[in-house]
Amino acid sequence: MFKRLSPEASAVWMARPGAALSLALLALCAAFAFAKPVFLSPENLLGILHQVAIIGIMAVGMTFVIMTGGIDLSVGPVLAIAGVFAAEVLAIGHGGTLLAVAVAVGASATVGGVNGLLIAYGGLAPFVVTLAGLSVVRGSALLIGGPDLHLIRGPSSFIAIGSGSLAGVPVSVYVFGAAIVVGTFVQYGTTFGVSALAVGANQRAAHLSGHRVRRTKAAAYVACAACAGLAGVIEASQVHTAAATYGMGVELDVIAAVVVGGTSLAGGSGSIPLTFVGVLLIGVMNDGLGLLNTPIEWQLIVKGLIIAVAVGLSERRRSA
């Protein structure tokens, strides 16, 4: 069983989709810069990274799930309940930032663990399990925190996670970057990363090759939920509030970013670096269309068309 992908294999896998996606991103940037020169201002470019940080962190975890041939529709409510848990810990007064973050991410990972057990060891369909989880977790968040906003006044170290900056760069961007780096290392430098691709490509072949199929699938859902929990902490810190209703529909944006990045919904392919490019592409598109004052209905249509084209190209490469 391979411990890691060789540099040659990684280069071959990423060459075609990576080049096409990068060219598409550059072309989109050039078009928006021509139409609105302010698009290329440092402030706007940092703003794009700041805006996509939450989706990007969640997309890292989602990439591993989709690599295995699964899907996680519960990440939106997980984001919400993580913020509620963090706010509750901070409201007690005895818990600091580290405890709040640990409780929020730990509770989120527990949700992922339940999903993973039901899917990997219970043999249930990922769509059904996580769709049910979407409802259960959202309801649990409402039970714990109620429908009202929870105001977060401090401590300053918690507020800095989503609202602070270091050397002029938002802290959330550093967290996003760290998630990409860690995710890339996990994919290409660990047995889990190789197993995730193998399981998605062919479960039986992966099992016969010595991969621990069920453990890999379960771990992917834990990682995905933990990323959603971290994103929930950042969002709560950014807006200084937490609510059980946060994250409505965010799972669609996360899945879209992963698919645009070239990860096949059928599993067996995917790349964290390309997910990063996919996240940037969607962020650039949203920002550029906003600068052009494009009506929201047309923004949604354009986003839908881009996702449809990305899925079509991904499936065409898979069947080639």
Where residue 126 sits, what CATH number does that domain have? 1.10.3470
| Among 274, 211, 268, residue whose Cα is nearest residue 11 | 274
Structure tokens at 253: 């944006």
Q: Is residue 2 part of a domain?
A: no
The answer to whether the beta carbons of residues 281 and 260 sit under 8 Å apart is yes
pLDDT at 11: 47
Q: Is residue 1 part of a domain?
A: no
Q: Is residue 209 part of a domain?
A: yes
Residues of the chain short of pLDDT 50, as ranges, are 1-3, 5, 8-14
Structure tokens at 52: 């996509």
Dihedral Cα 70, 256, 41, 51, nearest 10 deg: -70
pLDDT at 10: 47
pLDDT at 316: 67
Amino acid at the residue 213: V
The answer to whether the beta carbons of residues 111 and 137 sit under 8 Å apart is yes
pLDDT at 7: 52
The answer to whether the beta carbons of residues 130 and 62 sit under 8 Å apart is no
User: What are the pLDDT digits (tens) for 58-91?
Assistant: 999 999 999 999 999 999 999 999 999 999 999 8
User: What are the pLDDT digits (tens) for 194-248?
Assistant: 999 999 999 999 988 889 999 999 999 999 999 999 999 999 999 999 999 999 9
pLDDT at 318: 59
pLDDT at 78: 97
The answer to whether the beta carbons of residues 73 and 131 sit under 8 Å apart is yes
DSSP 8-state assignment for residue 93 = S
> Residue 165 pairs with which residues in a beta bridge?
170
Distance CA 206, CA 38 (A): 50
pLDDT at 3: 47
Q: Is residue 156 part of a domain?
A: yes
Q: Which residues of 62-82 are buried (b: 16+ CB within 10 A; e: fewer)?
A: bbbbbbbbbbbbbbbbbbbbb
pLDDT at 243: 93
Peptide bond into 273 cis (omega under 30): no
- Helices then strands, counting H and E runs in the chain, come out as 13, 4
Q: Is residue 256 part of a domain?
A: yes
Q: What is the value of pTM for the model shown?
A: 0.90
The answer to whether the beta carbons of residues 1 and 192 sit under 8 Å apart is no
pLDDT at 246: 95
pLDDT at 304: 80
The answer to whether the beta carbons of residues 187 and 272 sit under 8 Å apart is yes
Q: Is residue 311 part of a domain?
A: yes
How many domains would you assign to the chain? Answer: 1
pLDDT at 300: 83
Structural domain that includes position 214: 7-319
CB atoms within 10 A of CB 98: 10
Distance CA 93, CA 163 (A): 21
Q: Which residues of 185-221 are buried (b: 16+ CB within 10 A; e: fewer)?
A: ebbbeebbbbbbbbbbbebeebeeeebbbbebbbbbb
